[in-house]
Amino acid sequence: MSVWQPGAVLDLKIDTLNHTGDGVARWQGRVVFVPDAVPGDRLRVRLQHVKPQYANGVLLEVLERSPQRVRPACIVADKCGGCQWQCIDYHAQLAAKEQLVKEAIARIGQLQPQAFLPILAAPSPLGYRNKVTYPLARRHGQVVAGYYQKGSHRIVNLNQCPVQDPRLNPLLATLKADLQPWPIYDESTGSPGVRHLGLRIGQRTGEQLITLVLAGDIPPHLEGQAQRWYDQFAAVVGVCVNINSQRGNRIFGSQTRVLAGQLYLREVLAGIEFHVGATTFFQVNTAQAEQLIQTLEAWLALSGTEHLLDLYCGIGTLSLPLARSAARVTGVECHPDSVTQAIATARHNGLTNTEFICAVAEEWLPHWCNTVDVLLLDPPRKGCDRAVLDAILGQRPPRIVYVSCHPATLARDLGYLCQAGAYQLAKVQPLDMFPQTAHVETIALLTAT
């Protein structure tokens, strides 16, 4: 009987980690991917989802612990799907992420940067998240809140989380208890109720925002409960409700209103004050977002004469700090609320050299005729649309900074921009925005040849 089949048990040595966070082992020329594994581990593994050259495995037993294996900070880390790498020493996490970026640039992009810089570690590998959104359910009559168990839609109940800002922990435990009398959304039936609990904190200001995501109408007396939370927690500046009655995995709906206090909290990032609402996209790691901005400032060394175009600008998180050193900044973003917020933030901070445009990048850029000195790209995980890349090659801005949370699409796009000799890859800087996970942020600098 062949050993290479579902259900077979193998003893394997873990060599490396892949981009999804799984350990990678090799057996007779084939590859086995094992969750919860650490490089250097010897493991007993049961095969599943077997293909001719690779398989997934389930960890049965740690036969020999790697020196890089550590005790997780979270007591439910083996069940919760929120973090993948709490069992891995932080220095080993950094080394793995740096290697993932190097391999993607070389293998997918077919590029060798002039300088590949060591990864920028997070000052706090725990307690760094300024935003959490927990799904809710009722189990055995009790309200549970947490992250989904790995590979399932069963919630792992939490009263605290070691990767969220510790100042949010008292809110989680108290709010979960206070929600006990209220209707809780049932995803199997779609019955109305509270479906998510969102918590945000301004890590530089200490201000906190509570958001309940509801399916259906706002229950009677919920405003009274919101006011009690607002009065109970001195740091809470607002309690909001977001309506999302659509079934599926989307967390927020389009409508948000305030129940007590205000719709936003204040946060200061790189000296710019932002107003961050319940659904605002804002980097979850404030300290590392500031390291990212400092890197951009050092690389660009703007002299006050440059025109900078930020093509996926969001609320201006990157372009507004840079506007202080540029002659002119143009931001393009497809979400109207983000554009409105970027304009208001620029005005609030006294930045008069900025313009923000609501448009889809791939539709807008090919028809834009102005010249720019610096192009800033920070696209979604899927990377840039081909029309954007072709427009860039047609317009040839002297310098491009590409910020990405996905090494594979980053490498693909860099390779496309460099393949005809129009650009060279000057620098690559990985940055650990998301400790305890396999995700990695990367900054790349392209210069026109």
Sketch the domain layout of the chain as residue ranges: 9-69, 92-124+285-448, 131-269
For residue 174, the model assigns a pLDDT of: 93
- Reported residue count of the chain is 449
Which among 299, 305, 333, 301 has a CA at the least distance from the CA of 317?
333
Average pLDDT, the chain: 95
What values do phi and psi take at 166, rounded to 5?
A: -60, -20
What letter does residue 279 receive in the DSSP assignment? S
Please name the residue that has the structure tokens 């209103």: 257
Q: Which residues are catalytic?
A: 405
Tens-digit pLDDT profile for residues 87-103 = 999 999 999 999 999 99
Which among 36, 84, 29, 19 has a CA at the least distance from the CA of 54?
29
Tens-digit pLDDT profile for residues 193-231 = 999 999 999 999 999 999 999 999 888 889 999 999 999
Q: Is the dihedral of CA 133, 119, 202, 232 positive or negative?
A: positive
3-class state of residue 104 by DSSP: helix
Tens-digit pLDDT profile for residues 248-268 = 888 999 899 999 999 999 999
Topology alike, domains 9-69 and 131-269: yes
Q: Give Cα separations from 259 to 182, 285, 411 (angstroms).
A: 16, 27, 45
Structure tokens at 167: 């100042």
For residue 187, the model assigns a pLDDT of: 84
For residue 407, the model assigns a pLDDT of: 97
Q: Is the dihedral of CA 216, 219, 225, 230 positive or negative?
A: positive
For residue 240, the model assigns a pLDDT of: 97
Structure tokens at 107: 């293998």
CA 316 to chain centre: 17
With contact defined as beta carbons under 8 Å apart, do 161 and 176 qualify?
A: no
> Options 2.30.30.830, 2.40.50.140, 2.60.120.260, 2.30.40.10; which CATH number does 9-69 get?
2.40.50.140
Alpha-carbon span 54 to 47, nearest angstrom: 10
Q: Is the dihedral of CA 15, 16, 20, 26 positive or negative?
A: negative
What letter does residue 100 receive in the DSSP assignment? H
Share of the chain above pLDDT 70, in %: 100
Structure tokens at 88: 């891995």
Kindly tell me if the per-residue pLDDT of 1 is higher than 70: no
CATH class belonging to 92-124+285-448: alpha beta
Please name the residue that has the structure tokens 């709906």: 253
Tens-digit pLDDT profile for residues 12-66 = 999 999 999 999 999 999 999 999 999 999 999 999 999 999 999 999 999 999 9
With contact defined as beta carbons under 8 Å apart, do 300 and 399 qualify?
A: yes
For residue 278, the model assigns a pLDDT of: 92
Which among 185, 207, 188 has a CA at the least distance from the CA of 196?
185
Alpha-carbon span 21 to 18, nearest angstrom: 5
Tens-digit pLDDT profile for residues 274-310 = 999 999 999 999 999 999 999 999 999 999 999 999 9
Beta-strand relationship, 23-27 and 30-34: antiparallel
Alpha-carbon span 134 to 198, nearest angstrom: 6
Fold entry, domain 131-269: OB fold (Dihydrolipoamide Acetyltransferase, E2P) (2.40.50)
